[in-house]
Structure 1
Amino acid sequence: MREDRRLTVRERTALEGIERLLRHEDRALDRRLRQMRIRTPLREAAARFARWPRALLVTFLAGATLTLLLSATLTKAPPLV
C-alpha cells in the first residue's frame, strides 16, 4: 500500500467506529492501541531535547536561590533577607 493515499471521510468514520467498539470490548487491546506510536529518530531527538529547557531552568533557579540564600546569610543585608 502506498503511503501517499489517504482514507476518505467515510472510511475514516467507519474505521473510528470499529476501533471504538474494539477498545470498548477489550481493555488489553485498548492499552496496546494507546501505547502505539510512530517512532522516528527525529521525533525521539525532539522529545529528548524538549525536556532540556525545563531541566536547565530548574538548575538555573536552584543556583540563583542558593546564591541569594548564601549572600543573605553572609551579608545579613535586609533586601536579601
Structure 2
Amino acid sequence: MSDDIDESVAVLNVRSVVGIVVCFVVAAGALFALPTLQNQGLEFSTAFWLISAVELVTALGIAYFVLNLHEERA
C-alpha cells in the first residue's frame, strides 16, 4: 500500500456562510421596508419595485454564495 493517496477534502467557505447570512438579513429587512418607504413619500408602485429589486439582488447573492459554499482542498 502506498501513502500517496490524493484525497480532496471539501472545506466550508466561511465567506460564503457570512454572505448567505447577510443576504438573508437584508432580504428579511426589505420585506418590512415598504411602509417606511411609503411614509418617506414614495408611491406604492415605486416602493414595491424598489423592494423587488433588492429582493432579486439578495436572491442572486444567496444563489452565488450557495454555489461557492465548499472549497476543495488537497
Tell me which interval the TM-score lies in, with the shorter structure as reference length: 0.3 to 0.5
The structure whose RCO (Cα within 8 Å, separation 6+) is larger is 2
Q: Greater share of helix residues, 1 or 2?
A: 1
Greater percentage in strand: 2
- For normalisation by structure 2, the TM-score amounts to 0.37
TM-score normalised per structure 1: 0.34
